[in-house]
Structure 1
Amino acid sequence: MPFRPSLTENDIALLKRRTLVRIVDDDAELRDALQFLLEVEGWRVASYGSAEDFLKSDAPSVPGCVVLDVRMPSLSGLEAQERMNDLGIRLPIVFLTGHGDVDMAVSAMLDGAADFILKPIDNERLLGSIARAAYRSLSDSDGPPPPAEARRRLETLTERETEVAKLLAQKLANREVAERLEIALRTAETHRAAVLRKLGVRRTDEIAALFEAARDAHP
């Protein structure tokens, strides 16, 4: 399961003040309905009728997330995700689709998507996914999480995953991790994927930052 932080009302209020939700969908009626829903809930919203407009006009330095339709003319949602990755835009994506399938969802999640939601949309699930995605984005922009949160994340790892995480924090490659722990390369790769998923990070330097932050946590 992906990392799902437990957010308090104060957390949500902070996210609504400091993040921006981008809606990217060529369906104007749905786009307007989603914008109305989010604004009523207190979120800051920007909407775009195409992925091209979003990529051209958005300010990716502002933390938040992208609610992105999969099937759009010209540049699809999945193609937009690839373009974002190529450009180094790390905003979490909540995909919307009326034509989802397992392979599409798996591909999107492996490329860093925060969630994959089928239409008709469950508003409560969408709001929850947006909150978690915005939290991840704000945490990334602010640096490592508070010490107690860093420690809590690390405690979700198994003993073997903790060993792998410590080696990854030293910038060791998968093959070096496998050699140090005397395990198969494929096993090391599987543990690495589990570590990144459980800790809610995407890079090994973020693992090192979590260990550093956790040292300051009270017992």
Structure 2
Amino acid sequence: MTTPLVRIVDDDADARSSSSFFLSMMGLEIKEYDSAYRFLEEDDMNRPGCIILDVRMPDMTGMELQVKLNQKDCLLPIIFLSGHGELDMAVHALKRGASDFLQKSAKPERLLAAVKKAVTASMEEYESGNEIETLRKIYDSLTPREKEVVLGVAKGELNKVIGYSLGISERTVKMHRANLCSKLNVTSAVEMATFLRKIGVLNA
């Protein structure tokens, strides 16, 4: 099972170490980066968790890194830490999808709460993505005929209607339907429809 990782990106070694020590004592796995460039070069952004990101860093600021991550469609929640607390900067960061914006002087408990919220959201996103990938593989394993039948069943069509449109007997449709219930691990047309919606084959 994949465990979440909290990344701390900050050029201030003391601040970085302080946050890292506190959060690791709370049972979280931490990885530190002293620059945005190092983070981009070394981090596995497919692993769930979150990013604690300093606003002001040389070479590439936290805000600039956020823009790059958005361009990469990175789904990791970002918690900004600022030693300055500019309101406009916080508003822009949150509008671009940041999970939270805290001052570095915030109490450790406030940081922990923000991290727990971000990590929970990331893990839910990750698990949902894994589920969809698994369901997609199951769907891809179906024969072309089974895909035609399951679509008709999911749309609520009667067996005889499906058979007529596909040029097969109603008995054959029933056989395919039984096989589909087994392969997709479902028991009804409603569950088949839910399955197809999850993988984007059937519109909501």
TM-score exceeds 0.5? yes
Q: What is the aligned counterpart of 1:81 among 54, 66, 74?
A: 66
Higher relative contact order (CA 8 A, sep 6+): 1
Report the equivalent of 1:110: 95
Measured after TM superposition, the shift of residue 137 of structure 1 is 0.7
Q: What is the aligned counterpart of 1:60 among 39, 42, 45?
A: 45
Bigger-Rg structure (1/2): 2
Give the partner amino acid of 1:47: E
Q: What is the aligned counterpart of 1:96 among 73, 77, 81?
A: 81
Measured after TM superposition, the shift of residue 100 of structure 1 is 2.1
| Cα-to-partner distance string for 1:22-78 (whole Å, 9 max, x where unaligned) | 000000011111111111111000000001101110000110000000000010000
Give the partner amino acid of 2:96: D
Question: What do you get for the CA RMSD once the two structures are aligned?
Answer: 1.7
Q: What is the aligned counterpart of 2:22 among 37, 54, 71?
A: 37
Q: Secondary structure at the match of 1:73?
A: coil
Give the partner amino acid of 1:23: I
User: What TM-score do you get using the length of structure 2 for normalisation?
Assistant: 0.61
Measured after TM superposition, the shift of residue 18 of structure 1 is 1.7
| Cα-to-partner distance string for 1:87-131 (whole Å, 9 max, x where unaligned) | 111100000001122211111011110000012131011000000
Q: Which runs of 5+ in 2 are unaligned?
A: 130-196, 199-204
Distance 1:83 1:59 in 2: 15
Identity fraction in percent: 43
Distance 2:106 2:91 in 1: 19
Q: Which runs of 5+ in 1 are unaligned?
A: 1-13, 145-207, 210-219
Moved over 4 A (4+): none
Report the count of equivalent residues.
131
Distance 2:104 2:44 in 1: 27
2:28 matched to 1:51? Answer: no
Q: Secondary structure at the match of 2:94?
A: helix
User: What TM-score do you get using the length of structure 1 for normalisation?
Assistant: 0.57
Distance 2:104 2:114 in 1: 14
Q: Secondary structure at the match of 2:101?
A: strand
